[in-house]
């Protein structure tokens, strides 16, 4: 199991590196595909995807909405028309809910809308960060915050963990581990900036940006991890999928990346401006 998990992790890193290096349409299409899979996993988790394999009306509207959103991202208009797109998506879902009532529970209607915003929209900020100046190096911070925080929190928790962070939701996570994840990621941000400065990509003035991104990103990456776990516990499922051997589904592997991507995008814009 561990060997499978490690090998899958290596393959994921290679794929992520290549797509991030290429950027542009390749990255956008990859993120769109990942978003569709994540939406399917969430739809199945909340019971929206029908047992017979036929997509529900609410689910179909979700896929169409995600497609429109990624077209807006490609055209560089997603932020300009975000509110309009979001309201129209909600209205179409509401119409489907009303005219098929009582076929879908209210939780499914709200879950369909949440699932669109939670994964597909949040994933898109990886592409938008990549499109910024020095975008490749900035977008690496998204994965650094998520994966370094996870690693630092794990080893700190193993060594010093005594107080439970969320005892009901995730009994193995500790407050000491969470603090270790934040501190470790912040220190990694400093090292990252020093390396990038030596390469002439970033400057020492960018160190505060890397530190703040490391702290904020690591805090919310842990919240994202717990949030995804909470949904699984609520619906009594072990994993969101089986796409990635040893890891589960897209939502299992990228639960923290989903949350950190938009945060780092906006923080980077704040510091760069």
Cis peptide before 102 (omega within 30 of 0): yes
- What is the rounded distance in angstroms from the CA atom of residue 153 to the CA atom of residue 162? 13
> In the prediction, which pLDDT does 121 show?
95
- Cα–Cα distance between 15 and 197 in angstroms, integer? 26
Please tell me the predicted confidence (pLDDT) of residue 253.
Answer: 82
> Residue 48 burial (CB < 10 Å; 0-12/13-18/19+)?
buried
Tell me, what's the pLDDT at 70?
97
pTM of the model: 0.91
Cβ(58)–Cβ(46) below 8 Å: no
Given this model, what pLDDT does residue 271 score?
A: 85
Q: If you ran DSSP here, which 8-state letter would residue 203 be given?
A: -
State the pLDDT at residue 31. 95
**Residue 143: predicted pLDDT:** 87
Averaged in consecutive runs of 10 residues, what is the pLDDT profile of the chain (273 residues)?
A: 66 84 92 94 82 74 96 94 96 93 86 92 95 90 86 88 84 89 92 90 85 91 89 85 74 87 91 76
d(CA 48, CA 116): 13
């Amino acid at each position: 199991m561990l060997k499978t998990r490690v090998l899958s992790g290596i393959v994921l890193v290679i794929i992520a590196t290549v797509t991030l290096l290429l950027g542009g349409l390749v990255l956008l299409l990859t993120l769109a595909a990942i978003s569709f899979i994540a939406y399917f996993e969430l739809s199945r988790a909340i019971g929206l995807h029908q047992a017979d394999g036929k997509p529900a009306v609410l689910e179909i509207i979700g896929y169409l909405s995600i497609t429109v959103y990624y077209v807006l991202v490609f055209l560089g208009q997603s932020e300009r028309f975000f509110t309009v797109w979001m309201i129209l998506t909600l209205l179409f879902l509401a119409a489907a809910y009303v005219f098929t009532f009582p076929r879908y529970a209210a939780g499914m209607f709200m879950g369909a809308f949440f699932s669109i915003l939670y994964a597909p929209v949040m994933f898109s900020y990886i592409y938008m960060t990549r499109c910024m100046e020095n975008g490749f190096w900035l977008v690496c911070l998204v994965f650094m915050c998520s994966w370094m925080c996870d690693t630092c929190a794990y080893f700190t928790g193993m060594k010093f963990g005594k107080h439970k962070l969320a005892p009901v939701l995730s009994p193995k996570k500790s407050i000491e581990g969470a603090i270790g994840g934040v501190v470790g990621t912040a220190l990694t941000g400093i090292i990252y900036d020093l390396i990038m400065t030596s390469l002439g990509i970033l400057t020492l003035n960018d160190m505060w940006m890397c530190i703040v991104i490391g702290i904020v990103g690591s805090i919310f990456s842990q919240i994202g991890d717990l949030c995804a776990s909470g949904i699984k516990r609520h619906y009594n499922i072990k994993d969101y999928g089986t796409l990635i051997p040893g890891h589960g589904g897209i939502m299992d592997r990228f639960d923290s990346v989903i949350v950190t991507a938009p945060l780092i995008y906006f923080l980077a814009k704040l510091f760069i401006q």
